[in-house]
Amino acid sequence: MLGWFLRRLGQIVPTLAILSVLIFGLQQLMPGDPALILAGEERGDPQVLAQIRAELMLDRPLPVQYAHWIGRVLQGDFGFSWRIREPVAQLILDKLPVTFQLAIMALVIAIAIGVPAGVISAVRRDGPVDWAANGIALAGISMPNFWLGIMLILLFSVELGWLPPSGYVPLNEDPLQSLATTIMPAFVLGSGVAGVLMRHTRAAMLTALAQDYVRTARAKGVPEWRVVMKHALHNALIPVVTLGAIEFGRLLAGAVLTEQIFTIPGFGKLVVDAVFNRDYPVVQGVVLATALIFVSLSLLTDMLVMAINPRLRTA
Amino acid sequence: MSANALPVAAAPESPARRAVRSFFRHRLAVFGLVVILFFALAAILAPWIAPYDPLATSWSAIRKPPSAEHWLGTDENGRDVLSRVLFGARASMLAGVVSVLAAMLIGLPFGLLAGLAGGWVDSLIGRVADAMLSVPFLILAIALAAFLGPALENAMLAIAITAAPVFVRLARGLAMEARATDWAEAARALGNPPWRLAVVHVLPNIMAPLLVQATLAIAEAIIAEAALSFLGLGQQPPAPSWGSMLNSAQRFLTQAPWLAIFPGVAIFLVVLAFNLVGDGLRDALDPRSERR
């Protein structure tokens, strides 16, 4: 296990190193001089420009700038927001809990819909239930989630008046109100993931149900529900768990638009505001943070899969 | 599963013909193809079939619900929504197809190079692809588009760069598989240089899975373009695009819900269609994936 872990780290570290170069390189795509953008009204003053350039090390060669930047990043210093005048790392940490609440609720919704639908679909293969489930799954995957969000607001907030169209109440302030403000965005976020989960669960279940051990179990007279739930599902879940981590990344990306529509002050809103305000260090920080979250999650998932599947442990 | 249904081949049928036949048996995929053709025609013929100028504002027709004159209603500036949806198809279809073609143009050479060269070239290209894939698609696309500046071409470039690593990975894997086959060995033995092996021998043999991936990637690219336009990073107003139409519609949800419905239906239908065709192509072209 330790050897495997070290090998895995050996893959992750170079990947992250390359990623850091790419994220740093984003700045070079910018049209125009960052000092001019930052100076704003004072852009005519060469002294101000020189001061900004010196402060941001824009007057130094690129490798020096990178070394300085990555040195700070490794110490957890993601830079300073140009507009909000706060450390980027602090901004991200402040917003993450909101997005995590949303993402976890979305994942719960996605699993609650996707996995049972996939199992039923596989058991009732090619029947009307299977067709309907496949159709709904494909619709969920093809639905742009920002549009689904707008449609849900139209139905539940504008027409029926059941749920607030926007805003956010933290979980520790008023749990019920918090649930009311996050249930629609969480459903929007989860719907696409539910479709993907359904399709993968179905495929994995079909494979598992065709295995010899399932036939053996049936031949022994094990009741069908037990064959499906225990023998087949247990094995089918492994690829589904791996998928969970990848889909969590998709949730973080989906949160960008969903939070924008429901005006939820999370991580996604932070990026969008940063994009509008041309607050580039925040954009860079967010990209870096999502990559770190994604990489740690896939490492965690691999460990989880090892725990579920003992056959992999010796490998 | 289908062992007893294997047809007894009288005359050998070409794989391409079999694929086409199998694709057209897929009713949903054919439906998808029809929808794509419909929107492609709408995009191309927009100037002739649109009932109004998509940019023409009108003070007397502000936020009018769907009617005989304006089938899909009018927007907050009195512009005809149907005309704007038709012209909006241009931005979406163009962005979907062009950015995926560009992604393939970036991704395939690197993928083939990595798969055929092996060694440190392979590890370097593989790591760069891994690094890019560790950032969720939309976040990377937004970041790139933000740094490049708001414009449809920049959004397309951002989507192309973001989608490229998938093609790098796919081409790399397929090229490695192809390199190990006997016909690749024969081509090499005949003295074909590596680049010729890649372009003339390997590439045509891996076209089928690439086509499937490309179709599915177009679906993702169209959603991404709509998302970027929704955020103001794609097509710039007043030029119509489905994403930016949805963005302005959000402000008039109570007074003019039709503004939010039609552009969304358009995005949904096109994306669904490309996904259906992608699924159909996968079933038709990939003998390994069992028909579901």
Query: pLDDT per residue over A158-188, tens digit each?
Result: 778 787 777 787 777 777 888 888 888 999 9
Q: Cβ–Cβ of B135/A291 closer than 8 Å? A: yes
Q: What is the distance between the alpha carbons of residues A158 and B213, in angstroms, rounded to a whole number?
A: 39
- Give the mean model confidence (pLDDT) for residues B139-168: 90
Q: Residues with Cβ < 8 Å from A73, sequence gap 6 or more?
A: A20, A288
What is the predicted pLDDT for the residue at B10?
A: 54
Chain A to chain B, count of Cβ pairs less than 8 Å apart? 134
pLDDT of residue B290 exceeding 60, the answer is no
Q: Cβ–Cβ of A253/B148 closer than 8 Å? A: no
Q: Cβ–Cβ of A142/B268 closer than 8 Å? A: yes
Q: Cβ–Cβ of B149/A31 closer than 8 Å? A: yes
Nearest-CB residue to A141 (from B127, B149, B275): B275
pLDDT of residue B9 exceeding 70, the answer is no
Residue A272: list chain B partners with CB under 8 A: 142, 231
Q: What is the mean pLDDT of chain A?
A: 83
Q: What is the mean pLDDT of chain B?
A: 83
Residue A130: list chain B partners with CB under 8 A: none
- Kindly state the percentage of chain A with pLDDT values over 90: 1
What is the predicted pLDDT for the residue at A315?
A: 45
Residue A150: list chain B partners with CB under 8 A: 246, 249-250, 253, 260, 264
Predicted TM-score of the model (pTM): 0.86
pLDDT of residue B222 exceeding 70, the answer is yes
pLDDT of residue A311 exceeding 90, the answer is no
Among A99-108, B5-14, B239-248, the range scoring the smallest mean pLDDT is B5-14
Q: What is the distance between the alpha carbons of residues B114 and B164, in angstroms, rounded to a whole number?
A: 14
Residue B130: list chain A partners with CB under 8 A: 11, 15, 18
ipTM: 0.84
Residue A290: list chain B partners with CB under 8 A: 135-136, 139
Among A221-230, A240-249, A265-274, B117-126, the range scoring the smallest mean pLDDT is A240-249
Residue A149: list chain B partners with CB under 8 A: none
Q: Cβ–Cβ of A257/B144 closer than 8 Å? A: no
Q: Cβ–Cβ of B136/A30 closer than 8 Å? A: no
- Give the mean model confidence (pLDDT) for residues A194-198: 88
pLDDT in tens, B49-79: 878 778 777 777 777 788 777 777 777 777 8
Query: How confident is residue A313, by pLDDT bands cut at 50, 70 and 90?
Result: low
- Give the mean model confidence (pLDDT) for residues B193-201: 78
Scanning every residue of chain A, which has its alpha carbon at the shortest distance from the alpha carbon of B271?
Answer: A142
Q: Residues with Cβ < 8 Å from A23, sequence gap 6 or more?
A: A284, A287, A288, A291
Query: How confident is residue B3, by pLDDT bands cut at 50, 70 and 90?
Result: very low
Task: Provide the terminal-to-terminal Cα distance of chain A, rounded to the nearest Å.
Answer: 9
